[in-house]
Amino acid sequence: MTGAPSRLAERLESLGRVLEIGAGIVPGGVADMATAAIDHATDRLRHGTDFTVVALAGATGSGKSSVFNAIVGEDIAPVGLTRPTTAEARAAVFGPKDAGPLLQWLGVRHRHGANGRAALDGLVLIDLPDHDSVEVSHRLQVDHFVAHVDLLIWVLDPQKYADQVLHERYLARLAAHGDVMAFLLHQSDLVEDAGHDAWRKDAVRLLAADGLADPAVIITSTVTGRGLEELATLLADRVAARNGALARIDADLRTVAAGLGELKTPPAEKDSRSDRRDLAAGLGEAAGAGAVSATVAAAFRHDAALATGWPFTRWLRRFRKHPLSRLRPPPPARSGSQTAIPIDEPRLQLALKSYADRRALSLSWAIGSRPSPAPRRRDLAGGPPSVGCSGSWGSLLRPAGSGC
């Protein structure tokens, strides 16, 4: 994934711009999800990508702790008939590197060093409480880790693999995270060998209904040992790639993008008659219309005095220069120029900026449009001035500085 961190940084920056520009427009739920994605990505990348954080999640009695102990090679997590067995998340850290700061950020207090498998060096394996526990604190822990770990492995037992709570509360909402999830059809020793294929097909069908295409599914048992080496290989491959954190952040951003993609940009309001009148007045001032109007008025007064004034006054006025003589004809237009009228550039820019500012305020999606730094003559000849990129959520998602 060469260049992946820099691409993610650009996408995070673009998402931040969308939230800033769309403040008050983006619905609260989508904005909260986007803010959480930015915060998680920032904090996770701060701890580097040397470790791959994997969590075992599942329902009461699914056998998460048994799988955890089997991968670690020691009985670290308590296993028993009392439910719930796992009251607090515990982690096994593979390899000599210190994962203390990362585990502190994750909120894991119970930690154990596991150095038995060199292929897993860099793995942080976490055993979670039951997602359907009767204890609210247990479910809150699961929700926290589901939102923060790099890879989620769901341990599904034959009795609860189709549980509605699991599919509606978690899997359907994580449809874009298929690449950072895997599924164990655990306790396969309780199912006859002839029924394993049917079990897998039904599980895949349910996952597909959740929006998870081609999920990674492994049939496992800590009693017979089935599938445990396949699981260890999957973990070793993810650890070796050193991209677990990046893959998780990418999945989070795709989920946010899907939420933003459902938003539609309201049409801009038409400019009012007063806006057009003020723009015309400003452009007229920039072109010198005010001075021409004053000169023409003076010419009418001069001619009126010549026609109706006292004889001596009319005789004196004949020696005055006619006001219209102050208006010199404009020089011939040069090749490629759209007008030969001298333009007061500061007044022109002020008129265009005022118009664009008022138009931007009338846009309910508030893109903060501004006219071009150097107003173009063709904007005046062809209609209202240009106010930058056309407003759409797609354009706002482009990295800063990428242009229209």
Tokens of 247: 């893959």
Nearest to 77 by CA among 216, 222, 188: 222
Provide the pLDDT for residue 329. 58
User: Domain spans of the chain?
Assistant: 50-242, 273-328+341-396
SS (H, E, C) 224-283: CCCCHHHHHHHHHHHHHHCCHHHHHHHHHHHHHHHHHHCCCCCCCCCCCHHHHHHHHHHH
Exposed, middle or buried by CB within 10 Å (0-12, 13-18, 19+), for 99? buried
Could you give the angle at which helices 64-72 and 228-241 cross, rounded to 10 degrees? 70
For the domain with range 50-242, which CATH number is right: 1.10.260.40, 1.10.10.10, 1.10.1370.30, 3.40.50.300? 3.40.50.300
Provide the pLDDT for residue 245. 94
Sign of the torsion formed by the C-alpha atoms of 101, 104, 105 and 108: positive
Q: Which residues contact 196 (CB under 8 A, 6 or more apart)?
A: 185, 188, 219
Rounded to whole angstroms, how far apart are CA atoms 247 and 18? 22
Provide the pLDDT for residue 375. 44
Provide the pLDDT for residue 257. 87
What's the average pLDDT block by block, 10 residues per block, for the chain (404 residues)? Answer: 71 88 81 93 93 96 93 80 70 94 94 86 95 90 96 96 93 94 97 96 96 95 96 96 93 89 63 78 78 77 76 70 67 52 76 76 47 45 41 40 44
CA distances from 332 to 75, 284, 285 (A): 95, 20, 21
What letter would DSSP give residue 391? P
